[in-house]
Chain A
Amino acid sequence: MGKRRLKAVTEYIGQRKPLGGLLFLLPRIFSSEYKDSAGGDDEKPGKELLWNILVELERLLIHANIRYPVYFAFEDDKIDAVLADVKRNDATGLPATATTGGYKLVVTAPEPRKLAPPTMTNIQGWLPGLKADGDSNQLPTIAIVASYDTFGAAPALSVGSDSNGSGVVALLEIARLFSLLYKNPKTRGRYNLLFGLTSGGPYNYNGTHKWLRSFDQRLRESIDYAICLNSFGSVDNELWLHVSKPPENAYIKQIFEGFHNVAEEVDLKVGLRHKKINISNPRVAWEHEQFSRLRVTAATLSELPLAPELLESTGGLFDNRHFVSEAAIFRSIKLVAESLARHIYGQQGKNVNIFADDSSLGVNPSYVQSWLDLLSRTPRVAPFLSKTDPLIMAMEKELEVHTVEVNVQHEVLDGMFTFYDLTNAKLYIYQVASVTFDLLLLLVLGSYLIILFSFLVITTRGLDDLISLFRRPPSRKVKTA
């Protein structure tokens, strides 16, 4: 599908032409059943173009007011054959006859119903630091947060491998690495670690907001800073640290330098971006802004240079496993883990490699890959994730393995949107004959039966009888007259 066709689609939707429905056929690589040995590291120009087109298409669909249903399906051999047939008949301009290309597409699905306001599930894991002589609550806390849910034009296809599957995977791997260090009291740091998997990301980080509001005052005050993880999966080597406090702030400087120093070693670049918060504006573009509104120092680490608009970069159609680079995720995990560790153990500026590759503390590629694969197979739009969804249970169990205390919080999403159910349906394509064909057939059959009748009358009763069938009334008239 080229730019030309996207324009045609845009016009069609813009002009509000009445249609029965709109069916988009996505290339096979977007299907979760498609197994391709080439990973996301290949830079194929065709893929780039496809990616851009899909981003635009999704933006168009999300913001347009469409009065007919829009369906997404994947190309396969059978539907390709049907499509070729339809194109061929369209080109020759013949009307549909019995055997050539009259197709009827039927989607059998019940009327969509309104869903109850969605539940957001926030999962938090707590790794306590090494208590000195006092209470562990007096130890400072570092929070590492990632939102795990997605949003897209087609909820059943919104797997969000990059936004924010990569963030979730990074958080789990960092939790695993630090749990290894914190197991042994000799290597336990003097910071508590709070890991948070939040929901409600696409909706102005509503889940994070409610999670923070539920915090104990003391806990909130003990948070030194929070790092929010958001999208590391693209191949570029540049990451951005987004902050709300001005960059001149000493603390922000310290955090940024910590990241910057490690970045050079990991072959990445980290830049600093400052975005002021406007309290009156309900739009929350980054997760750290929810922390900042409650006076907690926070920053978001992301590959996105600019703040996304509402419902943008929320893991839609185009955000597929095949476009995600695992190497980029490994590097980012190493970056965050190393920076955090140096801060916790007071090793800033020293030439130390805590999470060295191939060591027992190295980033585990198969762990990252298997979680990324799982997340890329599971659509995670919040209204369709129940409280006991297998994925949520799995993430909770995983955090239970790595952390000491796990809490699950259920909140209701504020009523910004109304959701309707029905994310999956079956499409039936029938080859049908036109009405003219039926009429023609009736004509043929009628004449066949009449001929048969005449033939039988002639052979068994004689030709005179046949003629007499038509001449009976006049002969009677003659008689009476």
Chain B
Amino acid sequence: MTMFHFFNCAILTFGPHAVYYSATPLSEYDTLGTSVKAALVYLGTALVKLVCLATFLNVSESDSFDPYQELLKALIGFIDVAGLYFALTQLTHRNISQNHKFQAVGLGWAFADSVLHRLAPLWVGARGLEFTWDYILQGLEANANLVLSISLAALGSLMWLRKNKPRTLIPIIYACAGIVSTMPSITSYLRRGLGWHFAEVVGFELFVSLVMAFFSWQLFSTCQKPSA
């Protein structure tokens, strides 16, 4: 029953996005448009990243960890952050509270990421006869990615949209944002440089995403207190 397996992995990968949208007040305020626009911005940034990678990176035959290449990849990863900035600040939104704006943007961002990176392998691979744990792990990774995207969007909105921030917290905010945005480089270092298995890397990602979500939640609520 391999279509069954595909269905299982699909709901693991894309279900949480739908659940998040319907469970939180996002659905009540009809922020779907924002999410869709954020998804389109993600596609745009992905294209730009692709072009940059193709131009500047030389393909290495071995699967080892090359520091110079990884540094270059991390720098190109910052284009992601730029895209998120664009989505948060430049897109014209209806009158939505800031609280919901970052959630919608993060949701749209994560959904586009999942679809782009995980739908094709799922469709091609999970329907085959051979059973592997890979697609379930990929689904868990998508979940971690959702949490990370929302945290990054929260930190981003703190950095760029909120003008009155307590001075002491600013470096912490930037530090957390830095960690979250360099997650891809960290995971690839773990997989290639240290030789972790996919399952271990996914576990690490889930752990980090929960920790980062907690931190950003705390930061967001403390920043909200003075204005409340």
Cα of A461 to Cα of B133 in the assembled complex, Å: 36
* Cα-based distance from A454 to B131 in the complex (angstroms): 32
Contact A441 B8 (CB under 8 A): yes
B5 and A433 form a contact (CB under 8 A): yes
Q: How far is the CB of B135 from chain A (nearest CB, A)?
A: 11
Q: Does B12 contact A (CB under 8 A)?
A: yes
User: Contact: B136 with A441, CB < 8 Å?
Assistant: yes
User: Taking the complex as formed, is A132 at the interface, i.e. its CB lies under 8 A from any CB of chain B?
Assistant: no
A451 CB, min distance to chain B CBs, angstroms: 10
Is A83's CB within 8 Å of the partner chain B?
no
Give the residue of A432, A449, A461 whose beta carbon is less than 8 angstroms from that of B25: A461
When the two chains form their complex, are residues A438 and B130 in contact, meaning their CB atoms are under 8 A apart?
no
Distance in angstroms between the alpha carbons of A393 and B77 in the assembled complex? 64
CA distance A71 to B22 in the complex (A): 55
- Decide yes or no whether B19 CB sits under 8 A from chain A: yes
User: Chain A: which residue is nearest B7 at the CB level?
Assistant: A442
Task: With CB as the reference atom, state the residue of chain A lying closest to B5.
Answer: A438
Q: Which of A428-461 contact B (CB under 8 A)?
A: 430-433, 435, 438, 441-442, 445, 448-449, 452-454, 456-457, 460-461
Closest Cβ of chain A to B96, distance in Å, is: 15
Return the CB mask of B108-122 against A: 1 if under 8 Å, else 0: 000000000000000
Q: Which of B15, B22, B130, B131 has the most CB of A within 10 A?
A: B131
A235 to B136, CA, bound (A): 60
For residue A449, give the distance in angstroms from its CB to the closest CB of chain B: 5
Q: Which residues of A contact B1 (CB under 8 A)?
A: 435, 438
B68 on the A face (CB < 8 A): no
- A81 sits at the interface (CB 8 A): no
Q: Is the interface of A mostly helix, strand, loop or mixed?
A: helix
Contact A431 B131 (CB under 8 A): yes
Q: Which of B4, B15, B19 has the most C-beta atoms of chain A within 10 angstroms of its own C-beta?
A: B19
Specify which chain A residues have a CB less than 8 angstroms from the CB of B8 in the assembled complex: 438, 441-442, 445
Interface string of B21-63 (1 = CB under 8 A from A): 0111100000000000000000000000000000000000000
- Known A456-B19, A460-B23, A461-B25; judge A445-B11 contact (CB<8 A): yes
Report the minimal beta-carbon distance from A307 to chain B, rounded to whole angstroms.
Answer: 50
**Is A104 part of the contact surface with B, judged by Cβ < 8 Å?**
yes
Query: Which residues of A from 353 to 386 have beta carbons under 8 Å from B?
Result: none
Q: Which residues on B sit within 8 Å (CB–CB) of A84?
A: none
Residues of chain A within 8 A (CB-CB) of B7 are 442
The reply to whether the CB of B83 lies closer than 8 angstroms to some CB of chain A is: no
Q: How far apart are B5's CB and chain A's nearest CB, in angstroms?
A: 6
> In the docked arrangement, what's the CA distance between A453 and B21, Å?
10
Cβ distance B30 to chain A, nearest Cβ, rounded Å: 16
The answer, among B16, B24, B129, B136, for a CB contact under 8 Å with A460, is: B24
A98 at the interface (CB under 8 A from B): yes
A38 at interface by CB-CB < 8 Å: no
A106 CB within 8 Å of chain B: yes
CA distance A431 to B25 in the complex (A): 44
Number of A-B contacts (CB under 8 A): 56
Given A433-B5, A449-B15: A456 and B131 interface contact (C-beta under 8 Å): no
Report B-chain residues with C-beta under 8 Å of the C-beta of A438: 1, 4-5, 8
B20 within 8 A of A: yes
Complex: A191 Cα to B166 Cα, angstroms: 117
Interface contact A449-B129, CB-CB below 8 Å: no
- With a CB–CB cut-off of 8 A, which chain A residues contact B128? 430
| A432 surroundings in chain B (CB, below 8 A) | 129-131
A441 CB, nearest partner CB in chain B, Å: 5
Residue from B15, B23, B24 having most chain A Cβ neighbours under 10 A = B23
B-chain residues with CB within 8 Å of residue A452 when the two chains form the complex:
16, 19-20, 23
Task: From known contacts A438-B1, A456-B24, A460-B25, infer whether A445 and B15 are also in contact, taking CB-CB under 8 Å.
Answer: yes
**Pairwise interchain contact B130-A430, C-beta atoms closer than 8 A:** yes
B129 in contact with A104 (CB, 8 Å): yes
Task: Give the chain A neighbours of B129 by CB distance below 8 A.
Answer: 104, 106, 430, 432
Contact B130 A456 (CB under 8 A): no
> Is B24 within 8 A of A433, CB to CB?
no
Give B123-149 as 1s and 0s: 1 = Cβ < 8 Å from A's Cβ atoms: 000001111010010000000000000
**Which B residues lie within 8 Å of A442 (CB)?**
4, 7-8
Q: Give every chain B residue within 8 A of A454 (Cβ-Cβ).
A: 23
Once the chains are docked, how many angstroms separate the CA of A104 from the CA of B130? 9
Contacts of A456 in B (CB 8 A): 19-20, 23-24
* Residues in A neighbouring B16, C-beta threshold 8 A: 449, 452
Contacts of B12 in A (CB 8 A): 445, 448
From A104, A431, A449, A457, contact of B11 by CB (8 A): A449
Which chain A residues lie closer than 8 Å to B136 at the CB level? 441
Residue of A nearest to B139 (CB): A445
- Contacts beyond the supplied A435-B1, A438-B1: 7 A-B pairs with Cβ under 8 Å: A98-B133, A104-B129, A430-B129, A432-B131, A441-B8, A445-B8, A456-B19
Q: List 7 A-B contacts (CB under 8 A).
A: A435-B4, A438-B1, A442-B8, A449-B11, A452-B23, A457-B24, A460-B24
A interface residues (Cβ-Cβ under 8 A, vs B): 98, 102, 104, 106, 430-433, 435, 438, 441-442, 445, 448-449, 452-454, 456-457, 460-461
Spell out B's residues near A (CB within 8 Å): 1, 4-5, 7-8, 11-12, 15-16, 19-20, 22-25, 128-131, 133, 136
